[in-house]
Structure 1
Amino acid sequence: MDNMNEIMLDRNENQYGPAPECYEALRKANLEQLSLYSREFLRGRKSELSYTLAQRMGIPEERLLLSYGSEGMLKQVVHCYLHKNEVILLPRQSWWYYKKVASEVFGKEVEYSLIEQNGRFEYDAKQICDLYDKHYPQLVLIASPNNPTGSSISQKDLAAVINHCASAIIVLDEAYYGFTSESNDHLRELLDTHQRLVIMRTFSKYYALAGLRIGYTCVGEGLDQLVAFSARYLGFNQLSEKIALAALNAPEYYRTIAEKMRIDKEMFHNGFALLPGFTVFPSEANFILVRYPVPLKKTLEEGLKQRGIVVKFLNDPGLEDCMRITIGTREQDTSVMNAFNEIVGQGAMGSQAHELVNNR
């Protein structure tokens, strides 16, 4: 099948695309200014985007850092604070790139596990605190919501970890922020009470601007070294900033998309429940984790490939029988669920699942 017609649901991209306001900002951009550096410093700001984000979050602008996606800030944090043989504590069932960045500075990785219980993968604050007492890590990384499990750490458990791991730098990766809640209340409270806290977010997922590579990070008052390390003398990408600002000013567009995704996650949950051996885990992000019968793996891979559907089959320890499916548009999601029904569903169960999808 032509790549242009494939349904690519393997990289957690927002298939709905950015708000119309973003396209309008691009059309209206003054391209003559591309030859000039930012002059925001004349207004007492680092940049218009960082100023706006800081105002919305109720923090000083100097504590709001911009980066090349949250990936860029992850690198900066690790390269700034983690040195050879120093320990970073990170989740086992999570983004492989965390380990890659730690290896760049020859850091020592110690993993904690998300516990499968109550029908989901949950953070275990006691386990994290026990490992902290044993290894005294320089960095403790928490992804919330976590990729690929879709689960978030509770505010109670997060507070317990932060309070217990007092000497460590806590890195909270909120790349999938927004799909369930847009609240910043927890952010301000956390930054006020923990000076060695890093909270990373991005415009790539919720705001559908992955190609622009815009990340932003809030840091506690005890991380002046990171603030200095991340400083940009000549400013940020002005065109990217304008588009990001336009996205911030289109909240209803993104809330509508988040609601469509919520409905489709429910559809997947109900649809897969009718296929023997399949389980969908609850997700607070724009993807779902699906457990499938291992003997069907080759059949699933070949069947999806024939239909031009690309999802992520996982090989991570403990997740070898799982796949991650990005939530796409309504049309894409319906096609994907119907494809599974065709590949797997036989008899009454397949017919019931097909009917459930098409009668939404």
Structure 2
Amino acid sequence: MVKEYYDPEVKYMLWDDFQIRHIDDLKLKVKGYSDDECKEFDTTEDILQFYPNFKDFIEQFFAEEELVNSSTRLNYLSNYADTKTYSVVATEQLTGRLHVNENLFKPSPKVMEVLHNATYEDVYLYDLTREDELAVEISKREEISTDHILIHSGSSDVIKTVMSLVLNKGDTVLISAPSWNYYKSIVELKMAKAEYYDVVPGKNSYEFDVSGLMSKARAVSPRIIIITTPHNPTGAVISASDLETIIKENPSSLVIVDEAYLGFSEQKFDVRHLLAAYSNVVFSRTFSKLYGLAGIRVGYGLCAPMAKQVFRLDVNPFRVNNISRKMAVAALRDEKYYKGLLKDITESRNFFINEMNSISGVKAFDSAANFVFIHFSENTDVQALKDYLAQNGYLVRLWTEGSRLAMRVTLDRKETMEKVVALMKEFLEK
């Protein structure tokens, strides 16, 4: 007789996570299916492309929901009935997390010293000092006034604040394809429209189609243009001259430069020049990636002083928490540690790319970030490969490009990437 029980954590758990947790108890047999037999649907739009009549079910479902909830529905939120929430996939796994672009090399030990030395005042007092210590530290490094620096709780919040205040209903936002879906979720929240320009595969790396971007901008007159560099998910970078051309020739558009992966390569823009020469650009940065501080939620924006005053309208009147900002300052000051970390990441990245490219039917693209984007031959079951890696403790992310499934793999230390390469080869050689 099977004993039934209820575990509240299971409600939010993916089947892969549940199977990994009970891998010794749940013995599974693997059966492969071709792409014609098995499809993966990540969004409602994916289902509709495969089965257009699914819209009838959706309409019926929401009609029934509206009937059931008509007496209690919140009319003041009716404008957002069709708005989708951006969310990340929950996982209980603490190792093998090669799917969310965390810095798996860990932050500077000096960051942890801040925690150990925290005082009661750090906890119970608001920081009401005239200057924000973190903004001052950034100011020294960028050689710009703190009037240009907007401290926020992560770069995602910088982007959301800027887009929320700039966008109006019906405006157009120009986003790269492929791209981080978070941008589109904000566009939908503001009842605006998303248009796309391409980031395309070149010989060894992905490249920004700048001429295509400029052509699309002329056609749709976007309120906002988003440039993610290094680019997620491909690791591509845009040149300084191309970026300045986009800013200069689109004076009616706000150009948001998302630099979340800044520091994983030698590429860096002359931010001081761009902010002095143009008022229609905002840079968004984070301490989550290079500095490995994703858990404490700190980021910042760089923009014109007048723009900062407006963006502050959407920011909490009290600063990002005291301890988080002190940890960010400690990270900025430990340049020696992060120089060594960058050396280790570069070594791991070069090793992984070279090893993957030694496998027949595999193309790993050069990257300026802490992840690598990979194409496989048409006869490769990429979904099955992802599942095989998960069964062995490593989570990766798949991206759909037209009819192709590509894979993005976050970098860990070389010894971990050696294990991932071995598993990849083992699967692909079957």
| Same fold? TM cut 0.5 | yes
**Aligned ranges 1:220-299 → 2 under 5 Å:** 220-221=304-305, 223-224=307-308, 226-294=310-378, 295-299=380-384
Aligned counterparts of 1:261 and 1:58: Cα–Cα separation in 2: 27
- Indicate the residue corresponding to 2:293 in structure 1: 209
Spell out, residue by residue over 1:177-225, the C-alpha distance to the aligned partner (whole angstroms, 9 max, x if none).
0111275x51111111111210000000000000011011100245255
Which of the residues 237, 241, 248 maps onto 1:152? 237
Q: Percent identity at matched positions?
A: 29
Contact 1:162–1:170 under 8 Å retained in 2: yes
Q: CA deviation at 1:311?
A: 0.7
Q: Counterpart of 1:223 in 2: which secondary structure?
A: helix
Normalising by structure 1, we get a TM-score of: 0.90
Aligned counterparts of 1:182 and 1:33: Cα–Cα separation in 2: 36
Aligned counterparts of 1:104 and 1:300: Cα–Cα separation in 2: 35
- Indicate the residue corresponding to 1:71 in structure 2: 156
Aligned counterparts of 1:150 and 1:322: Cα–Cα separation in 2: 13
Contact 1:170–1:198 under 8 Å retained in 2: yes
Q: 1:213 to 1:33 in 2, by over 3 A?
A: closer
Contact 1:38–1:236 under 8 Å retained in 2: no
* Count of matched residue positions in the alignment of Structure 1 and Structure 2: 340
Aligned counterparts of 2:127 and 2:309: Cα–Cα separation in 1: 24
Which of the residues 7, 25, 28 maps onto 2:117? 28
Q: Counterpart of 2:206 in 1: which secondary structure?
A: strand
Instruction: Confirm or deny that 1:193 pairs with 2:277.
Output: yes
**Aligned ranges 1:52-63 → 2 under 5 Å:** 52-63=137-148
Greater radius of gyration (CA): 2
- Indicate the residue corresponding to 1:353 in structure 2: none
Q: CA deviation at 1:53?
A: 0.8
Q: Which amino acid aligns with 1:31?
A: Y
**Aligned ranges 1:60-209 → 2 under 5 Å:** 60-181=145-266, 183=268, 186-209=270-293
Q: Which amino acid aligns with 1:23?
A: M
Aligned counterparts of 1:90 and 1:39: Cα–Cα separation in 2: 38
Contact 2:298–2:320 under 8 Å retained in 1: no
Aligned counterparts of 2:387 and 2:201: Cα–Cα separation in 1: 29
- Indicate the residue corresponding to 1:356 in structure 2: none
Instruction: Confirm or deny that 1:13 pairs with 2:102.
Output: yes
Aligned counterparts of 1:5 and 1:229: Cα–Cα separation in 2: 37
Aligned counterparts of 1:226 and 1:200: Cα–Cα separation in 2: 16
Aligned counterparts of 2:189 and 2:287: Cα–Cα separation in 1: 25
Q: 1:153 to 1:319 in 2, by over 3 A?
A: farther
Spell out, residue by residue over 1:198-257, the C-alpha distance to the aligned partner (whole angstroms, 9 max, x if none).
000000000000001101110024525534424543222101011111101111211211
Q: Counterpart of 1:91 in 2: which secondary structure?
A: strand
Aligned counterparts of 2:272 and 2:153: Cα–Cα separation in 1: 23
Aligned counterparts of 2:326 and 2:407: Cα–Cα separation in 1: 36
Aligned counterparts of 1:33 and 1:291: Cα–Cα separation in 2: 48
Q: 1:36 to 1:122 in 2, by over 3 A?
A: same
Q: 1:247 to 1:5 in 2, by over 3 A?
A: closer
Structure 2: stretches of 5+ with no match in the other structure: 1-19, 22-91
Which of the residues 294, 298, 301 maps onto 2:386? 301
Spell out, residue by residue over 1:97-152, the C-alpha distance to the aligned partner (whole angstroms, 9 max, x if none).
11011110011111111132233221122222211211111111100001001001
Which of the residues 109, 128, 132 maps onto 1:39? 128
> Bigger relative contact order, structure 1 or 2, given CA contacts below 8 A and separation 6+?
1
Aligned counterparts of 2:410 and 2:303: Cα–Cα separation in 1: 30
Aligned counterparts of 1:328 and 1:73: Cα–Cα separation in 2: 27
Q: CA deviation at 1:16?
A: 1.3
Q: 1:205 to 1:245 in 2, by over 3 A?
A: same
Of 171-180 and 255-264, more deviation after overlay is shown by 255-264
Q: Which amino acid aligns with 1:136?
A: S
Spell out, residue by residue over 1:286-326, the C-alpha distance to the aligned partner (whole angstroms, 9 max, x if none).
000011234322441332122111111223x3483210000
Aligned counterparts of 1:275 and 1:179: Cα–Cα separation in 2: 25
- Indicate the residue corresponding to 1:351 in structure 2: none
Q: 1:181 to 1:40 in 2, by over 3 A?
A: farther
- Indicate the residue corresponding to 1:337 in structure 2: 421
Contact 1:299–1:343 under 8 Å retained in 2: no
Q: Counterpart of 2:266 in 1: which secondary structure?
A: coil
Normalising by structure 2, we get a TM-score of: 0.75
Structure 1: stretches of 5+ with no match in the other structure: 347-360
Q: Counterpart of 1:40 in 2: which secondary structure?
A: coil
Q: Counterpart of 1:114 in 2: which secondary structure?
A: strand
